[in-house]
Amino acid sequence: MDFNINLRFQPSGWFIGVLAELNEQYSDWTDGSYDWAAQTTDFLHNPVPLPEFDASLFKTPLSQRAVNDLLHVAMALMSGDFLAVRAYLAQIRFAFVIGYPRSGGSYMTKELLRTVGLDHMRVSEALAHDGFPELRDIWYDREGEKPYFHLQSSAFQTAEFLVIANFYYQIKTRRGGDGTWLAPKKMHKIIHWAGSFKMLLGQGRADYLVTLRHPLPTAISIAEKSGGLPENLRFPAAQPRSAIERWVLNDLMMLGMPEAEIAALSYFEAVQISWSLFHGRMASSGLFLSNRDEITLLPYGRDALEGAIRSYRARHATATPPEPLLIHDKAKAFPDWHAPTNAAVAQMSGYWRSLGLTFPELTLE
Question: What does the pLDDT read at residue 5?
Answer: 67
The answer to whether the CB of 19 falls within 8 A of the CB of 66 is yes
Backbone angles phi, psi at 299, to 5 degrees: -65, 135
For residues 141-153, give the mean pLDDT: 88
- Over range 289-296, report the average pLDDT: 89
- Beta-strand pair 140-143/146-149: antiparallel
Question: CA 214, CA 227: separation in Å to the nearest integer?
Answer: 21
With respect to residue 268, please indicate whether it lies within any of the assigned structural domains.
Answer: yes
In a domain, 4, yes or no: no
Arithmetic mean of pLDDT, 15-40: 74
What mean pLDDT is predicted for residues 10-16? Answer: 89
Confirm whether 343 is domain-assigned: yes
Residue 254 belongs to a domain: yes
Confirm whether 120 is domain-assigned: no
In a domain? residue 275: yes
Return the exposure string of 227-250: e unless at least 16 CB atoms fall within 10 Å of the residue's CB, then b: eebeeeebbbbeebbbbbbebbbe
In the predicted structure, residue 145 carries a pLDDT above the cut 90: no
Mean pLDDT of 269-295: 95
- Segment 210-234 mean pLDDT: 95
Give me the number of domains the chain comprises: 1
Mean pLDDT over 97-126 rounds to 94
Determine the Cα–Cα distance for residues 255 and 252; give it in Å rounded to an integer.
Answer: 5
> Does residue 40 lie within any of the structural domains?
no
Among candidates 282, 124, 123, which has minimal Cα distance to 209? Answer: 282
Domain of residue 244, residue span = 218-290+329-365
Q: Is residue 249 part of a domain?
A: yes
The whole-chain average pLDDT of the chain stands at 91
Per-residue pLDDT band for 134 (boundaries 50, 70, 90) equals very high
pLDDT given for residue 28 in this prediction: 63
pLDDT tens string 35-88: 766 655 555 545 556 666 778 889 999 999 999 999 999 999 999 999 999 999
Q: How far apart are CA 28 and CA 48, in angstroms?
A: 7
pTM for the whole structure: 0.92
**Distance between CA atoms of residues 178 and 91, nearest Å:** 10
133: preceding bond cis by omega (within 30 degrees)? yes
pLDDT for 46 equals 53
Segment 280-296 shows an average pLDDT of 93
